[in-house]
Amino acid sequence: MENMKYRYIYEYEFYRGTSAAETAQRINDVYGAGVAKESTVRFQFQRYRFGNFDLQNQPRGRTETKVENEELKAIVKADPSQSTSKIAAGFGISDKIVLIYLKQIGKVKKLERWVLHELSKSNLQTRIDCCVTLLN
């Protein structure tokens, strides 16, 4: 049974004047042991006492932060030496989130500048030569 259905039962028992412990016991007798915890029923009863009869879950957590990749690229292109703290302050988000978005657009910090994480043709050839040498 879904949590919403149990909440209807909790509300019914609350209006009947049943205690939280007794409500939990009755639900567990009918639907099986461990289905309704007394602490959960107490929490719902407390909400009802304060007049909150909304059966839906309340939204939790932070709001999703959304940074446009093109806008971030433009900011980094304008000043590739700026820190993640400055970029984060401009968007109103944390440094860690900025690092995640920078990684998404392929930027890494090298010599205090944000650059694309790509190998030049000569670096790629050097890497291939080293790998071939190690395999032989």
The pLDDT tens digits of the residues spanning 50-70 come to: 888 777 766 666 667 778 888
**pLDDT, mean of residues 14-40:** 91
Predicted TM-score (pTM) of this structure: 0.44
Numbered ranges of CATH 1.10.10 in the chain: 3-49, 61-136
Position 53 scores a pLDDT of 79
- pLDDT, one tens digit per residue, over 74-128 is 888 898 888 889 998 988 888 898 888 888 888 888 777 777 777 788 888 998 9
Position 120 scores a pLDDT of 80
Position 76 scores a pLDDT of 86
CATH of 3-49, one of 1.10.3210, 2.60.120, 1.10.3470, 1.10.10: 1.10.10
CATH of 61-136, one of 3.40.1840, 1.10.357, 3.40.50, 1.10.10: 1.10.10
Position 3 scores a pLDDT of 77
Position 62 scores a pLDDT of 67
In the predicted structure, residue 20 carries a pLDDT above the cut 90:
yes
Kindly report the backbone phi and psi dihedral angles of residue 54, in degrees, each rounded to the nearest multiple of 5, phi listed first. -70, 125
